[in-house]
Chain A
Amino acid sequence: MKARAFSYHRAHSVDDAREAHARSGDDARYIAGGQSLVPALALRLQAPRILIDINHIEELRGVRCDGEWLRIGALTRHCEMLTDPLIAEFAPLLRAAAPFVAHPAIRNRGTLGGSVALADPASEFPAMMLALDAEIEIAGTSGRRRVRADDFFIDLFETAVGPGEIVTAILVPRFRCNQRICFDELARRRGDYALVGCGMLATCKDGLVETIRIAFFSVGNVPTRARSAEAVVSGARIDADRIVAAQAALDRDLAPPESDEVPPAMRLHLARVLLGRLLARMSEAA
């Protein structure tokens, strides 16, 4: 349970970190909170030659409003999601998801940028990027670019972040007063990765859901939007019939993989149960 030997570089700017990565011949890893990377190193699932510590890069910190967007620095810790007043006001879905992410001491270290860059399909925050229609800012050789969450998650642990690139910030459209959120997950034990989880963001008018984005996690290789279920609910008043129709539509949205622990049919069933609960809550809020 000890990592293979590596050398350590404490980076003080994004360019410094990227240059160190390039010098290593891309045999390097960035370490943010380390709450996923350090176990992977200890288990020797990964064995980079160089560890580049990005915790001291000032520009990756902080939460602030930027026009219509809330800009959340990549180094924002999970625990800050629970306490930051701007997150509570303008990104309440992240606030709602945060208590479900790991345990308190892990939330003290783990970062939003690390969670999104890792893209664990069982993680809460990557899926919430989809529900929020967030954009991920990435620093690469040709400068900064922004990638929509819909285009960001490519396959298992594979994202739009290329080798040596750094996630610098997450941009979330600011929450508006005609919007509603819901989040929940089913897990065997609080703090464990969910068997299935879901978050949603609806834009409402006169008791109708105008548009809705529904994102699931722990249902396959990538966090997944339930587009058919979204279509059933959009433009409608949520009632019992709509909920049943949306639950039925999940067949077309989710294809949980084979797994010894949770067979696909069971996971799909749990996803339907969860969707029903969340839409019922949404109907009361709309």
Chain B
Amino acid sequence: MSSEIDDAEEAVRVRFTVNGRKVACEVAPRDTLVDCLRNALELTGTHAGCEMGACGACLVQLDGRAVHGCLMFAVQADGARIDTIEGLSESGAIADLQAEFHRRNALQCGFCTPGMLINAHELLSRLTEPSRAAIRDALSGNFCRCTGYEAIVDAIAAVADARAAKASQEGSPG
């Protein structure tokens, strides 16, 4: 066997916690995180679009922060906690966002939706009442080829309002 890296695709073992489950898999160092999630772990909710950081379809949470699955290699995530759209859906953490996207037609083909939701989720965890400009700004790295964005911004704004209303209800005695 040749020791030339060009010929021999070495495999490395990585372990991470994906959607709360400990998993181990064999990857080549050049496999991106999004490819590993989709191909090895069959979590195909995370989409691969441009594979160069431009479209935002591949967003996942790495240790609680939104990152591009196409802009890191799976080996780099060894030891990390990864949450994908599947995990966030099952936990119910974004159920209100999903319902509002659905209600307002904020998705058509759905290719961009997982990335949009992960970004929106992070935005709303940082800012409770973002302006429309702040929402647009947060989505500046997410392309949607179907909706024209307006319905997406509406949905996120509506969820922000609903969450704020709920929080103030819970906060006020009686």
A22 at the interface (CB under 8 A from B): no
**A residues near B89, Cβ cutoff 8 Å:** none
A53 at the interface (CB under 8 A from B): yes
* Cα of A41 to Cα of B78 in the assembled complex, Å: 20
Q: Are B65 and A38 in contact (CB under 8 A)?
A: no
A51 at the interface (CB under 8 A from B): yes
A7 at the interface (CB under 8 A from B): yes
* Cα of A50 to Cα of B12 in the assembled complex, Å: 14
Q: Are B141 and A106 in contact (CB under 8 A)?
A: yes
Interface residues on A, range: 20 to 34
B149 at the interface (CB under 8 A from A): no
Q: Are A105 and B140 in contact (CB under 8 A)?
A: no
Q: Are A38 and B71 in contact (CB under 8 A)?
A: yes
Known: A1-B52, A4-B30. A189 touches B140 (CB 8 A): yes
* Cα of A105 to Cα of B64 in the assembled complex, Å: 11
Q: Are A105 and B5 in contact (CB under 8 A)?
A: no
Within the complex, the shortest CB–CB distance from A35 to chain B, in Å, comes to 6
**B residues near A173, Cβ cutoff 8 Å:** none
In-complex Cβ contact of A108 among B52, B65, B136 (8 A): B65
**B residues near A106, Cβ cutoff 8 Å:** 53, 68, 71, 141
Within the complex, the shortest CB–CB distance from A25 to chain B, in Å, comes to 12
Within the complex, the shortest CB–CB distance from B46 to chain A, in Å, comes to 13
Q: Are A105 and B59 in contact (CB under 8 A)?
A: yes
Q: Are B30 and A39 in contact (CB under 8 A)?
A: no
**0/1 string, B13-34, CB within 8 A of A gives 1:** 0000000000000001110100
Q: Which of A10, A42, A103 has the most CB of B within 10 A?
A: A103
B66 at the interface (CB under 8 A from A): yes
CB interface residues, B 129-162, toward A, < 8 Å: 136-138, 140-142
B75 at the interface (CB under 8 A from A): yes
A265 at the interface (CB under 8 A from B): no
CB interface residues, A 99-123, toward B, < 8 Å: 99, 102-106, 108-109
A3 at the interface (CB under 8 A from B): yes
* Cα of A145 to Cα of B96 in the assembled complex, Å: 53
Q: Are B72 and A109 in contact (CB under 8 A)?
A: yes
**0/1 string, B52-86, CB within 8 A of A gives 1:** 11001001000001111011110110100000000
* Cα of A55 to Cα of B142 in the assembled complex, Å: 26
Known: A6-B30, A7-B5. A104 touches B73 (CB 8 A): no
Q: Are A2 and B66 in contact (CB under 8 A)?
A: no
**B residues near A79, Cβ cutoff 8 Å:** 65
Known: A1-B51, A104-B141. A8 touches B67 (CB 8 A): no
Q: Are B70 and A190 in contact (CB under 8 A)?
A: no
**B residues near A41, Cβ cutoff 8 Å:** 30
B113 at the interface (CB under 8 A from A): no
**A residues near B6, Cβ cutoff 8 Å:** 4-5
Known: A34-B76, A104-B138, A106-B141. A42 touches B70 (CB 8 A): yes
A191 at the interface (CB under 8 A from B): yes
Within the complex, the shortest CB–CB distance from A80 to chain B, in Å, comes to 11
A160 at the interface (CB under 8 A from B): no
**A residues near B70, Cβ cutoff 8 Å:** 38, 42
Within the complex, the shortest CB–CB distance from B91 to chain A, in Å, comes to 20
Within the complex, the shortest CB–CB distance from B34 to chain A, in Å, comes to 11
* Cα of A241 to Cα of B123 in the assembled complex, Å: 44
Q: Are A5 and B9 in contact (CB under 8 A)?
A: yes
Q: Are B76 and A31 in contact (CB under 8 A)?
A: yes
Q: Are A6 and B76 in contact (CB under 8 A)?
A: no
Within the complex, the shortest CB–CB distance from A151 to chain B, in Å, comes to 31
Q: Are A103 and B56 in contact (CB under 8 A)?
A: yes
**A residues near B66, Cβ cutoff 8 Å:** 104-105, 108
What are 10 pairs between A and B in contact, CB < 8 Å?
A5-B30, A7-B5, A10-B75, A35-B68, A39-B53, A42-B52, A55-B76, A99-B137, A104-B122, A104-B141
Residues of A within 8 A of B (CB): 1-8, 10, 31, 34-35, 38-39, 41-43, 49-51, 53, 55, 79, 99, 102-106, 108-109, 189-191
Leading 3 A-B pairs by shortest Cβ distance = A103-B141, A191-B140, A8-B29
